């Protein structure tokens, strides 16, 4: 496996496991490419995909080096490095609990990060920028599946409204810079994500990594059941981070539209069914109990991905396969203390 790829279970991390890697003809291999947020779930996947595609001039900056909320600091960094292509995948993210406890952080951090990077990219003449938002931008009662034109047609889901407002502002920011300055800045809205490098903190993670950790810990303790939030009735769509990374490179090459574009699988399932999939992979012997006093969130969130499919892209990692490979990664990294959101090494099952 060349081009910097490594195998993770049955997935070739860094590109879709059944697609041949080809070197881009549209973006020079030595182009200066900046991935903002490279240590997160999406950013790390984008880095792997770019390396696998033969790009050799990849630029990154950790939080200790660059505060993306500081316009002056971002301007200085862009002046020095002059990135030609920018993947803006940085941001403050989390699940229902984190959104409810830290709404000010979620709106402030994301508004500032979007503004500083977009402005610096324009100021230094970046060739193209891809801004990554979230499916939470759509109204709570939007028709399903949610098409791009559902944006701003109704009230948002209250549990993550500040975050959603910031993400909508990011779309409008890119559109404004396109219209006023002629920038080739595009926006993509992914569905719920998961995969290697995810955040497994039970207070700030999203539903799928939280489930993986809960079932894992219950198994190591010898519990008989796991209690999960809500009723299990809401339906959700899930996309593996490596599929999203592949879509990001595809869009950077192929898409130049003013309107944002959805990125997902076009398939959803009840949270109850998701829990059963995770349980069957991690701890088949455990029962599942539901705490209906806790919030469910939006009743359904399924993206209409026909626009992206018409361009020629489709996801490749099915949910069952993705959960299994993510859990194998989780167990390996847990043993070495490398799981984000877990502060100390924990007991690992002797078989997975």
Q: Give how far Cα 132 sits from Cα of 5, 188, 210, Å.
A: 24, 5, 23
Report CA torsion sign: 273, 278, 284, 286. negative
The pLDDT score that the predictor gives to residue 10 is 41
Q: Give domain status of residue 107, yes or no.
A: yes
Distance of CA 289 to the CA centre of its chain: 28
The pLDDT score that the predictor gives to residue 20 is 37
Tokens (6 digits) for 282: 């991690």
The pLDDT score that the predictor gives to residue 4 is 37
Q: Give domain status of residue 184, yes or no.
A: yes
Distance CA 340, CA 333 (A): 9
Task: Report how many domains make up the chain.
Answer: 1
Concerning whether 163 is annotated as a catalytic residue, the answer is: yes
Q: Give domain status of residue 148, yes or no.
A: yes
Per the structure, the complete domain to which residue 26 belongs is given by 6-199+237-268+301-335
Q: Which residues fall within 8 angstroms of residue 3, CB to CB, at 6 or more apart?
A: 21, 51, 52, 53, 54
Of how many residues is the chain composed? Answer: 352
Q: Give domain status of residue 108, yes or no.
A: yes
Closest CA to 123 of 183, 60, 63: 183
Please tell me whether the overall predicted TM-score, pTM, comes out greater than 0.85 for this model.
yes
Longest dimension (CA), the chain: 61
Q: Give domain status of residue 230, yes or no.
A: no
Hey, how many other C-beta atoms are within 10 angstroms of the C-beta on 228? 23
Q: Give domain status of residue 327, yes or no.
A: yes
Tokens (6 digits) for 223: 């519990």
pLDDT in tens, the chain (352 residues): 333 333 444 443 433 333 333 333 489 999 999 999 999 999 999 999 999 999 999 999 999 999 999 999 999 999 999 999 999 999 988 777 778 889 999 999 999 999 999 999 999 999 999 999 999 999 999 999 999 999 999 999 888 899 999 999 999 999 999 999 999 999 999 999 999 999 999 877 889 999 999 999 999 999 999 999 999 999 999 999 999 999 999 999 999 999 999 999 999 999 999 999 999 999 999 999 999 999 887 788 999 999 999 999 999 999 999 999 999 999 999 988 889 888 754 444 433 3
Q: Give domain status of residue 219, yes or no.
A: no
Q: Which of 163, 177, 194, 327 is catalytic?
A: 163
Distance CA 179, CA 165 (A): 21
- Find the CATH number of the domain harbouring 118: 3.40.50.720
Hey, how many other C-beta atoms are within 10 angstroms of the C-beta on 267? 16
Q: Give domain status of residue 218, yes or no.
A: no
Tokens (6 digits) for 201: 């903190």
């Amino acid at each position: 496996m060349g081009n910097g790829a490594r195998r993770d279970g049955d997935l070739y991390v860094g590109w879709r496991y059944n697609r041949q890697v080809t070197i881009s003809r549209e973006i020079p291999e030595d182009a200066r490419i900046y991935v903002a947020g490279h240590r997160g779930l999406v950013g790390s996947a984008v880095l792997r995909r770019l390396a696998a595609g033969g790009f050799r001039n990849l630029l990154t900056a950790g939080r200790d080096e660059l505060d993306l909320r500081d316009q002056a600091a971002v301007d200085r960094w862009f002046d020095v490095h002059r990135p030609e292509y920018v993947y803006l995948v940085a941001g403050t993210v989390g699940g229902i609990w984190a959104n409810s406890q830290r709404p000010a952080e979620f709106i402030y951090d994301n508004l500032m990060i979007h503004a500083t990077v977009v402005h610096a990219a324009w100021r230094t003449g970046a060739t193209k920028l891809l801004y990554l938002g979230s499916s939470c931008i759509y109204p709570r009662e939007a028709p399903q599946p949610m098409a791009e034109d559902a944006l701003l047609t109704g009230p948002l889901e209250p549990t993550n409204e500040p975050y959603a407002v910031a993400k909508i502002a990011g779309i409008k920011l890119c559109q404004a810079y396109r219209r006023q300055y002629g920038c080739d800045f595009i926006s993509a809205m992914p569905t719920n994500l998961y995969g290697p490098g995810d955040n497994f903190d039970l207070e700030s993670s999203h539903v799928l990594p939280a489930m993986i950790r809960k079932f894992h810990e219950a198994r190591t303790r010898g519990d008989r059941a796991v209690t999960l939030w809500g009723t299990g009735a809401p339906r959700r769509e899930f996309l593996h981070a490596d599929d999203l990374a592949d879509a990001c490179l595809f869009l950077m090459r192929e898409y130049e539209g003013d309107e944002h574009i959805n990125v997902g699988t076009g398939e959803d399932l009840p949270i109850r069914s998701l829990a059963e999939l995770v349980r069957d992979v991690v701890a088949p012997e455990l029962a599942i109990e539901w705490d209906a006093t806790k919030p469910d969130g939006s009743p359904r969130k399924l993206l209409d991905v026909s626009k992206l499919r018409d361009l020629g892209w489709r996801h490749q990692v099915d949910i069952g396969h993705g959960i299994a490979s993510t859990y194998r990664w989780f167990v390996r990294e847990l043993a070495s203390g490398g799981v984000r959101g877990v502060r100390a090494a924990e007991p690992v099952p002797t078989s997975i």
